[in-house]
Amino acid sequence: LILLNFGTSGQLDSMESVPDLQKAMYKFIDGYPCVRLLNLSGVIGCSNPGREMVVAPIVSYRSDKELSQSSAVLVSLDEIESFFTKIRNDSSFARNIAGVIVESGIEIQKNLKGFSPTQKFPQAEFAPYQTTNYEWNPIGSGIMWNEYNFPVFLLSESGTVTLLEAATKNEKSNKAYIADVAEFDLVMQTTKAGTHDSESCLKEGTCLPLGGYRTRTLIDSGDCVGSVWSSLPPINVSSTDQSRPVLLTVASMDSASFFRDKSLGADSPFSGLIALLAAIDALSFIDGLDDLKKQLVFIVFTGEAWGYLGSRRFLFELDLQSDAVGGLNNSLIEMVLEIGSVGKGFNQGVNKFYAHEAGVSSATNETLDALKYAQESLDSEHIIISPANASNPGIPPSSLMAFLRKNSITSGLVLEDFDSVFSNNFYHSHLDNISNINSSAVVAAASLVARTLYILASGDTNISSSTLTAINVNVSLVEELMDCLLGCDPGLSCELVKNYITPSTTCPSYYVGVMLDEPSSTPYLGAVADISRFLWNFLADRTSIPSKNGSSACSQGCSKNEVCIRAEADGKGVCAISTTRYVPAYSTRLKFESGIWTVLPPNSSDPMGMSDPVWTESNWNAIGLRVYTVQDPGYDRLVLLGGISVTVLAYVAIVITRAFITKALKRD
Amino acid sequence: MTVAAGIGYALLALGPSLSLFVSVISKKPFLILTVLSSTLLWLTSLIVLSALWRGFLPLKSTSWWPYGLLIFTSVAFQEGLRVFVWKGYMRLEDILNTFADKVSKPRLYLTDKMQIALAGGLGHGVAHAVFFCLSLLTPAFGPATFFVDRCSQIPFFLVSAIIALAFVTIHTFSMVIAFSGYAEGNKVDQFFVPVVHLVAGMVTLINFASGGCVIGIPLLYFIAILTLIHCGRMVWRRLIGNGRTQGNL
């Protein structure tokens, strides 16, 4: 095989073995699929129509051209919305669609004004007000909420180049018997089993509920993602004096997109999360937090994009006073401050944010005053905070909705970078990446939140400016967090993250994932996702006070109120006093019993559960996309015929020759 | 390309060998043994050549002369080996003839000797086809086909099979010509075989040029047909001429 080029029309970028030849023939394409998701009433998302791979020639989409045969259509991102609209309206066009491949490219992204495949009012069914036709997200096309019976893949940059070449080759080729085809493997178990809603598929075991447990990635690393909460300073659980009112600050860590493995959510919600982390970092340097009138508690939810799973489950566990929320008393929560999307607040040198209040109460007025006071103390930073427009129907889609539906008199406020309409033109799309946000907006929001929380927690309306100016957000921390959590270079292998955990992937994706195991507040850490573990360690580290015995290694075990921080990084970890816990995140309508998930009937005491679609994701074996050249079956048969005829002709020739020679010899 | 095409390519390369085997070789067990040992011997020679050249490969060169050198040394090695095979065959012939005398059976006829040479050549051809064509054929049984840039009109596997068929023909009949040449002391026949082998090898270098296979492959078949015709004429001359001589005796 080393002499492979010998006697053949060898290529100089030579292959050295048969596996190399196989690799050259079958090109695996890097891509992100759209998968099949189910709810109580039906399905959404994409799937192969049966049990087989889908194979079809690659064709570039052109709005004026019709499809002559079943094809794999290559669509550019700026045409994707009109393309899917055409599929809905034109059934003869839709009939010829075997699969869809979406191009990727930095150039396209720059020119695209906006793309949001979700609804115009995301998760309207959970709103605590009636105006569900209000358009928070007017760009929303809703395409990710439809059912498609063909595979759809988003390409990477390298994949786009390969497929464009293939499509051009197909167009230019004058040989009718060969074509470059795409082979889609997106066979979904729910399609095979014929279970087309959550209840039946959970019963048959062909799907898993969405929630904070296992994210199946294409390179299955089996991550669990759970909500994380922490209190600053740590709550002394054994103490009886637990009556300090609690200020709960909330952010979320999951996003959604049409393509499962490319959900970054840089503006929504990660800018808010990063602002929260920076604020906590700033506050952790302040002394005397124990003496403040109120207790600060922070929580980062997951699963918010799929029915507010994290916040609902947290409130449920709070009612049950389970282990996951031990130390927190529901009745003590005085105020909920949510940090939503803040990354786009920077405009023409000014950082502008809006406070969306949930109803008017003394607590929300106090918070608004605190925000204004904090803004004044940050005078040099050009930050403006305003209350949201009074003509808004209420708060924008946020975790606070779960709190309000549970208890309509909850005092709460959502901090956002928009007033009446999302400023994020790429909400819940794969394009909501780091280039969509501005670090100075995040820094501004973090500074505002840190100082506001201090003002609120001290309960003092007249804090000296010197105290406030001591609370400063670390700008380089914000930038580092952005680079680590929202990009691939360095991505999760950056110093900051490696300081706390050993990441299993570099490129992050924040889709909530599915629940594989039994939910628990003490999950097996080897199965918890990088982002949750990082958040847990970061929060534990920032909110901890050193252990009484000095910083002891965890190898001897930590005492009751202590946790083991950096357990993965140095290999040993350090014990410290901190109240930082994981909380499972899954629908309140689901119950895990003897290895099976069952859907509970709607309960009027759980109003959000009544409108919960109960999202599940279909099981699948392998997902992939490859491209190769195929020749017409007639050609194959011709080759076989040729081979057989050569053999037969040779036989005939040999027999004749032999007879001839024998006769000639006999003659002589 | 599917199973049908895969079988088709395999038959293209080795079909005629199969026919030859079935019609001529399979009738005599000794010839079957000869084919098998010959195949083994020539496969070993190709493996030895690969091992010798391993250190220099892959030849990352845009010019043709390193490949020319590769082919030249390989052909030289194989032709040298052919002389040894001939010497081994001579000894074998003596043993067989001695044995025939002992059991009062006739000695090897000319036709027998030619058949042994043919079997030896067939072994050589099959070794070449297996090494250069069959070993690459596994991907051909899958759904995809493959085209090489420099020969974009014909699928790669088809090119491989056609070239292998040409070489099978050349090797099979070369052995007959070579053995006859050594036996008679005929210098023309003795030089014909190495020269043809070398030229055929070098002709494949034409395939490196873009679109070269359109010229290279017909040239290769020209050489194969030339070998076939030369062998035919030689056989005719020896057998029929021999018969006449015997008849006259």
Residues of chain A in contact with residue B46, where contact means CB-CB under 8 angstroms, are 3
What pLDDT score does A578 carry? 86
What are the domain boundaries of chain B?
3-54+65-241
What pLDDT score does A581 carry? 86
CB A145 within 8 A of CB A38: no
Residues of chain B in contact with residue A668, where contact means CB-CB under 8 angstroms, are 240, 243-244, 246-247
How distant, in Å, are the alpha carbons of A76, A175, A258, A425, A429 from that of A118? 19, 42, 8, 11, 8
Helix (H, G, I), strand (E, B) or coil at A470: coil
Q: CA A169: distance to chain centroid?
A: 35
Nearest to A541, CA basis, from A510, A570, A515: A570
- In chain A, the residue whose alpha carbon lies closest to the alpha carbon of B152 is A9
What pLDDT score does A219 carry? 35
What pLDDT score does B245 carry? 53
DSSP for residue A270: I
How distant, in Å, are the alpha carbons of A265, B54, B176 from that of B51? 56, 5, 29
List the structure tokens of B156: 């790669």
Q: How far apart are CA A289 and CA A280, in angstroms?
A: 12
Give the H or E element holding residue A159: helix A157-172
Q: Mention every residue, 6+ apart, whose C-beta is less than 8 A from residue B127.
A: B38, B39, B40, B41, B42, B43, B45, B46
Q: How far apart are CA A394 and CA A360, in angstroms?
A: 11
Q: CA B130: distance to chain centroid?
A: 11
Q: What is the model's pTM?
A: 0.85
What pLDDT score does B178 carry? 94
A643 touching chain B per CB within 8 A: yes
Q: How far apart are CA B185 and CA B128, in angstroms?
A: 28
The total number of residues written for chain A in this structure:
668
Fill in the amino acid letter for A136: W
Residues with pLDDT less than 70, chain B: 1, 242-249
- In chain A, the residue whose alpha carbon lies closest to the alpha carbon of B215 is A9
Residues in A 591-630 with any Cβ partner in B closer than 8 A? 628-630
List the structure tokens of A127: 């709103």
A106 touching chain B per CB within 8 A: no
SS3 for A599-618 is: ECCCCCCCHHHHCCCCCEEE
What pLDDT score does A632 carry? 87
Backbone torsions φ then ψ of A374, nearest 5 degrees: -65, -40
Q: How far apart are CA A31 and CA A46, in angstroms?
A: 14
Fill in the amino acid letter for A516: L
Would the CB atoms of B239 and A640 count as touching at under 8 Å? no
Nearest to A181, CA basis, from A629, A624, A625, A633: A629
Residues of chain B in contact with residue A634, where contact means CB-CB under 8 angstroms, are none
Nearest to B119, CA basis, from B173, B180, B75: B173
- In chain B, the residue whose alpha carbon lies closest to the alpha carbon of A644 is B11
B152 touching chain A per CB within 8 A: no
Q: Mention every residue, 6+ apart, whose C-beta is less than 8 A from residue B120.
A: B34, B35, B38, B85, B89, B175, B179
CB A207 within 8 A of CB A216: no
What pLDDT score does A552 carry? 75
DSSP for residue B9: H
Q: Looking at CA atoms only, how far is residue A628 from chain B in angstroms? A: 6
What pLDDT score does A241 carry? 54
Burial of A490 (0-12, 13-18, 19+ CB in 10 A): middle
What pLDDT score does A240 carry? 46
B141 touching chain A per CB within 8 A: no
CB A202 within 8 A of CB A591: no
Residues with pLDDT less than 50, chain A: 1-12, 213-223, 238, 240
List the structure tokens of B6: 């895969």
ipTM for this prediction: 0.92
What pLDDT score does A6 carry? 40
Tens of pLDDT, residue by residue over A574-585, are 888 888 888 888
Any idea of the CA torsion for A66, A71, A74, A77, to the nearest 10 degrees?
A: 70
Would the CB atoms of B142 and A25 count as touching at under 8 Å? yes
Q: CA A301: distance to chain centroid?
A: 13
Nearest to A516, CA basis, from A94, A220, A260: A220
CB A164 within 8 A of CB A158: no
User: Residue B239: which of A18, A26, A661 has the nearest Cβ?
Assistant: A661
